[in-house]
Chain A
Amino acid sequence: MTTVDASVEPRSLSRRKPPPSVRRRRLLVSVADHSILIALSVMFLAPFVFIALTALMSNQQALSPRLWPEPFHWGNFVDVFHTAPVWRYALNTTLYASLATIGVLVSSIPVAYALSRLRWRGRDAVFVLVLVSLMLPFQVTIIPIYVVFAKLHLVGTLWPLILPNFLGDAFSIFLLRQFFLTIPEEYADAARVDGCGELRILVSVFLRLAKPAIAAVALFQFLYCFNDFFGPLLYTSEASNHWTLSLGLSQFRTIYQVEWNLTMAATLMFMVPVIIVFFLAQRAFVEGVTLTGVKG
């Protein structure tokens, strides 16, 4: 019964049927639109497909004009591990990304809370400073920071990449603040009436309501570290036992004299975890992207 209702209702609401000529034109426009979208999709997917195909080829075939692997060399994915210390890189990457993410969450949530839900003199000025530090090219401050870490004998380790995250990250502060602002004040007031202090309100009200934004921040930070190339290049390029996946991959072909088929296998293996995470956490992604972009 209910299914019949559902199918009838929209039709009864819709206006009179348009004349056939209009309907035909609409159909043609719709077909054209979808054709363009399909063509674009093919173009967007083609690089993935070619990378995957090459990852399955023998070396000779990768250098030949044939585009379909014959036979399939699944062993390439195993060979990658024999060619370079991939597990080492993966371990370093995980260490860097997880510690940095913890640091960003621990330090940025309280700051974002103070910048959005508490009223104090100078708050807007501080927020402008956060935006300024977010917008200036990071190269502007990198030399003195490098000098400091060099003096502390931390160049050649992952610490220069991890430590700064424990002192707040402008992008995460910005994103969390934008989200905190959307939470109605009534929730906080209700908690205040129940005798909660500001800290309890942050912990038991806002952290719970802001879960999607916190998930987005954690995800972005983790991926940022996973992808980061400049930081590892700057601080660990001389110490190959501290290399991350992105640095290792960039050197893969040249240092180890690896052929294209194995390089593409490694490239693919580097992309796959991110894509899996995306499909598991799609909502957090879209939430985060639109939050930073639109509600400025």
Chain B
Amino acid sequence: MTSAPVAGALAAGVERDRRRAKRKAAWRRRGLVLGLMSPWILGFTIFFAYPLAMSAYLSFTHYDLLSSPRWVGLANYRYLFEQDQLVWPAVKNTLWMMAVFVPAQALFAFGLAFMLTRARYGVGVFRTVFYLPALAPVVAATLGFVYLLNPGTGPVNILLERLGIPTPLWFDSPQWSKPSLVLLGLWGTGTMMIIFLAALIDVPRQLYESADLDGAGPLQRLRYVTLPSISPVILFAVVIGVIDSLQYFTQAYVASAIASGQAASEGPTSIGYPENSTLFYPVLLYLQAFSYFNMGYASAMTMLLLGVALVVTLLILRSSKLWVFYQGARR
């Protein structure tokens, strides 16, 4: 008769032990997650969250690294929006790159990948050739292009002259310096091409076959089958392109320094050459922060950059719902 309460007590004890063991396991698990995540937690705090907050604070101060930051309220922002003569050219150049280079790169990379899918022979060789320039270190590629396109003795102008085509001044002309940078960028577009190629290969064959049965021509196949199927990759290309153009620095910095014949470490004299046509927003930011050590003002510039980056990325992602098509079965 007494066995029921005893069994109950025993069961309760077992239950308690089990719960304790469970709690212990949960704690060990939490410790494991925390341990595995610790590099990121530290890195995110020290190299992302703290600098972001600090940048926001510094943007309201005057700070030159030597004396401690002095609060100046909105003065930096007022100067940024109203007085700085170089901000508007820099913004315009950056917008130019975004408006011209991003679509050009997406189209060009898609075109290359599309041609590769049509090839019957030597696909591997063509793919390697198109990808190779993407491997060239940026500084080396830029230096190479400044030489190839140099107006007097560069091979490109020598060839153009022999063909009787007018020879632009390329990196030495305010009209042609940005198009020259676009050429440099398109030459190195291999990574984007590989991504498009993978997407094109992944388009299900049945879709093309049913389009054929419906009597679709090549253009209609492109419009109604290919483009919708690879739209997530187009979105990816646009987002990456926009982010890259917001931080566009090395090519412009090196090209203007080399083309103007100045040493890149000699500071601001050559930057933006010719006539501020290659003065991009990140280049101006670099000059303000690390050549003039106007760190407070430069922080205000980074805040504007942050705002623009957030707005642009959100806009693209929002609009993507209208034109990006995800295949249901995929993940």
Contacts and interface: CB of A to CB of B under 8 A. Distances in A.
Nearest to B53: A144
Contacts of A150: 65
Given A40-B115, A293-B233, A227 B264 contact: no
B247 A139 contact: yes
Given A137-B243, A137-B305, A254-B263, A227 B139 contact: yes
A271 interface: yes
Contacts of A41: 125-126, 129-130
Given A167-B40, A250-B264, A263-B147, A138 B247 contact: yes
Interface in B263-293: 263-266, 282, 285-286, 289-290
A251 interface: yes
Given A65-B158, A289-B194, A139 B121 contact: no
A197 to B, nearest CB: 9
Given A254-B258, A290-B198, A44 B187 contact: yes
A258 to B, nearest CB: 11
Given A293-B233, A296-B236, A251 B263 contact: yes
B143 A37 contact: no
B331 interface: yes
B58 interface: yes
Interface in A247-270: 247, 249-251, 253-255, 260, 263-264, 267, 270
B148 interface: yes
A230 B249 contact: yes
A37 B262 CA distance: 39
A267 B144 contact: yes
A254 B44 CA distance: 39
A20 to B, nearest CB: 19
Contact of A34 (B42, B119, B232, B306): B119
Nearest to B189: A44
Given A33-B119, A137-B247, A229-B254, A111 B137 contact: no
B199 interface: yes
A164 interface: yes
A199 B32 CA distance: 8
B236 A293 contact: yes
Interface string B145-169: 1011010110100110100000000
B202 A136 contact: no
Nearest to B247: A137
Nearest to A169: B43
B40 to A, nearest CB: 4
A64 B155 CA distance: 10
A202 B150 CA distance: 54
A54 B44 CA distance: 46
A296 B232 contact: yes
Interface stretch (B12-20, B96-104, B173-181, B295-303): B295-303
A45 interface: yes
A108 B39 contact: yes
Contacts of B39: 106-108, 110-111, 166-168
B246 interface: yes
Contacts of A147: 54, 65, 295
A144 B58 contact: yes
Contacts of A198: 29, 32
What class of interface size applies to chain A in its complex with B? 35 or more
A96 interface: no
Contacts of A114: 33, 36-37
Nearest to B296: A143
Nearest to A244: B139
B243 A293 contact: no
Given A143-B289, A143-B302, A45 B51 contact: no
Given A34-B121, A118-B32, A146-B289, 9 more contacts: A34-B119, A40-B115, A114-B33, A140-B52, A140-B55, A143-B54, A146-B290, A233-B253, A250-B258
Interface of B: 29-30, 32-33, 35-37, 39-40, 42-44, 46-48, 50-52, 54-55, 58, 65, 112, 115-116, 118-122, 125-126, 128-130, 132-133, 135-141, 143-145, 147-148, 150, 152-153, 155, 158-159, 161, 187, 191, 194-195, 198-199, 202, 232-233, 236, 239, 243, 246-247, 249-250, 253-254, 257-258, 261-266, 282, 285-286, 289-290, 295, 298-299, 302, 305-306, 309-310, 313, 331
Interface of A: 30, 33-34, 36-37, 40-41, 44-45, 47-48, 50-51, 53-54, 62-65, 67, 106-108, 110-111, 113-115, 118, 120, 126, 129-130, 133, 135-147, 150, 164, 166-168, 173, 198-199, 202, 223, 226-227, 229-230, 233-234, 237-238, 245-247, 249-251, 253-255, 260, 263-264, 267, 270-271, 274-275, 278, 282, 286, 289-290, 293-296
Closest 4 CB pairs of A and B: A167-B43, A293-B195, A107-B39, A141-B51
